A and B are shown apart, each in its own frame.
Chain A
Amino acid sequence: MESLMMILIGILVAVATYLVLSRNMIRIILGTALLSHAVHLLILTVGGLKKGDVPLLSQSEGPFTDALPQALILTAIVISFATTAFLLVLAYRTYKTNGSDDLQELRGMPDE
């Protein structure tokens, strides 16, 4: 399972990278979202999969799955939500002010 997940993560990262490298702002934002999905899965997977029970002391006696990656991911999910929201608003403010969502056009004529 872990190996399969790693391949999935690799594909997600590759797609995310391609999106981030594009010129359109929506694609870039989507790319960051995809990247965070991939990283969340990565953190979870390197901690080992299905090695134990749900990390709740009230539910079982152990062994438990590694709880630390889960805590890290929980933080990361919320943060990536905040950054996505900020990026989206930044994108549409840029679009409204400058009338373009293409990074190449936004940069304007090179000044050299």
Chain B
Amino acid sequence: MKINDVILRTVVKGVIFIILTLGVYLFFSGHNAPGGGFIGGLVLGSGLVLLYITYDLETVHKKMPFDFKKVAGLGVLLATGSAIGSIFFDAPFLSQTDTYFTFPILGEKHLTTVTVFEAGVALTVIGTLVTIILSISEDE
């Protein structure tokens, strides 16, 4: 899939960072504001898909040599792992906990184990989205 579209490429170059930043922002803001694993993952995933559509597969793959099936697998592992993990602390399955923690430079931050779970969700969404679109596009 070789698209030679100068305008699209130039625009995407600028926009992609905004999209990816937005995705990351949405992911982290999720606990207290709109956002979260699903939305963050979807935005990041669609940003990546946009990248793949604008440039061809090989070029993107050279820069980002991920197997997105494995990204999705890692996501599932994180999500279920964080769920099972709570058993090892004598807490019921899927218990989450949160705490305030003071970092040297960042100051006091609110940390929760839900973030691990959400990261799993986000990774699964990214991996699955890109896998689906890529495998359809690659089919000849």
Enumerate chain A interface residues (CB-CB to B < 8 A). Answer: 56-58, 74, 78, 82, 85, 88-89
Contacts and interface: CB of A to CB of B under 8 A. Distances in A.
A58 B34 CA distance: 11
B115 interface: no
B132 interface: yes
Contacts of B132: 85, 89
Given A78-B125, A85-B132, A89-B136, A56 B32 contact: yes
Nearest to B32: A58
A57 B33 CA distance: 9
A82 B34 contact: no
B125 A56 contact: no
- Residue in B34, B132, B136 whose Cβ sees the most chain A Cβ within 10 Å: B132
Contact of A56 (B33, B38, B42): B33
Given A78-B125, A82-B128, A89-B136, A58 B38 contact: no
15 contacts: A56-B32, A56-B33, A56-B34, A57-B32, A58-B32, A58-B33, A74-B38, A78-B38, A78-B42, A78-B125, A82-B128, A85-B132, A88-B136, A89-B132, A89-B136
Interface in B93-140: 125, 128, 132, 136
Nearest to B132: A85
Contacts of A85: 132
Q: List the 3 closest A-B pairs by CB distance, nearest first.
A: A85-B132, A58-B32, A78-B38
A64 to B, nearest CB: 14
Contacts of B38: 74, 78
A57 B32 CA distance: 8
A4 to B, nearest CB: 26
Nearest to A86: B132
Contacts of A88: 136
A56 B32 CA distance: 7
A89 B33 CA distance: 35
Given A56-B32, A82-B128, 9 more contacts: A56-B34, A57-B32, A58-B32, A58-B33, A78-B42, A78-B125, A85-B132, A89-B132, A89-B136
